[in-house]
A = this chain, B = another copy of it.
């Protein structure tokens, strides 16, 4: 029988609840429980699913119990029973948990809201899985950075990227809290130029020359990236298409098939019976791929709620040594969750594989 790694999830929010579901779908993992401090509908769903619930903060336990939540124990109790914890607490809270995880002798996966230094290793499965093998901790980079690493990393791996530029139009807020922090009928440009995602990508792919600018739009269905990539030689649209098709967790959508905007992609995910309508892949508009003698141009959608979920699963495997290489872990995670490179395979003609004629950097 397979070895099963005992996993705890600390923080049952937008990412934590998805990671918990994903862990429970892996045949080489066991979800020991989830910890949080709230006692409203969010954590009640965990109870409905049969996940043991722990109090992240002992002070919140009485309130949770008074609200009828069966609390199995505190965070320390959860850590005592696990081999690895996925920290999905809010930004910068995670860093404060580091000593606690260390003292408990538990490996840790952090999210992109924490600094690179908290974990010491920034992780995107298809780029640098091998380097995380057996480490005590790693950080799954943020949604935007994950997408940049997958897409631009696929071009970089072929030695094509001379210099990349991307504009990131971020979603205003997550759906669950859009009644609290809605952004209506405006766009908020980010004053910090370049935005942090470019340097963050370089924690995963140090050699990739990139600058990013960002803004927040009046929508909460995913981010949208416009990337302009100077190439080391003229790269055709066919080559570009082939390189993306060959990379994991990138899937094409087409305006010519009615997938015209962010909402159409999410509607497609709902129609495909994806849990919560989640899009784990980077959705690249195939009909907006373009190339000239100097550059290639890409437009793609990044589902901030979901894209890092398979990365967390792979990161657990890397830290605990459950899978010896990226291909094996990615394949296993993709199969368990349903991650694909073709959303509508019955009617999608496959794209011929490109020969890997050029030296791969990754």
Contacts and interface: CB of A to CB of B under 8 A. Distances in A.
Interface of A: 165, 167, 169, 183, 185-191, 193-194, 211, 213, 215, 217-221, 224, 226, 228, 255-256, 260-264, 285, 287-290, 292, 295, 297, 299
Given A185-B221, A228-B213, A290 B165 contact: no
Say whether chain A's binding surface is mostly helix, strand, loop, or mixed: mixed
A219 B297 contact: no
A237 to B, nearest CB: 10
A104 to B, nearest CB: 42
B263 A185 contact: yes
Contacts of A183: 261
B224 A189 contact: yes
A211 B193 contact: no
Contact of A193 (B218, B264, B290): B290
Contacts of A256: 191
Given A167-B167, A194-B297, A299-B215, A187 B224 contact: yes
Contacts of A189: 224, 226, 261, 285, 288, 299
Nearest to A188: B261
24 contacts: A165-B165, A169-B169, A169-B187, A169-B217, A186-B262, A187-B219, A187-B224, A187-B261, A188-B260, A189-B224, A189-B261, A190-B288, A191-B256, A191-B287, A193-B288, A193-B297, A211-B228, A211-B292, A213-B226, A215-B226, A215-B299, A217-B217, A217-B218, A228-B228
Contacts of A221: 185-186
A151 B190 CA distance: 19
Contacts of A215: 169, 224, 226, 299
Would you list the 5 A-B pairs with minimal beta carbon distance, nearest first? A193-B290, A186-B263, A167-B167, A188-B261, A218-B218
Name the residue among A263, A264, A289 with the largest chain B CB count within 10 angstroms: A263
Contact of A213 (B187, B264, B297): B297
A141 B217 CA distance: 27
Contact of A187 (B193, B194, B217, B255): B217
A316 B217 CA distance: 37
A186 B219 contact: yes
Contacts of A218: 185, 217-219
A186 B189 CA distance: 17
A224 B187 CA distance: 8
Contacts of A220: 185
A255 B191 CA distance: 7
A240 to B, nearest CB: 12
Most buried by B among A169, A186, A194: A186
Nearest to A288: B191
A353 to B, nearest CB: 24
Nearest to A300: B189
A285 B213 CA distance: 13
Contacts of A264: 186
A132 to B, nearest CB: 31
A189 B302 CA distance: 13
Nearest to A294: B163
Contacts of A217: 169, 187, 217-219
B186 A261 contact: yes
B165 A228 contact: yes
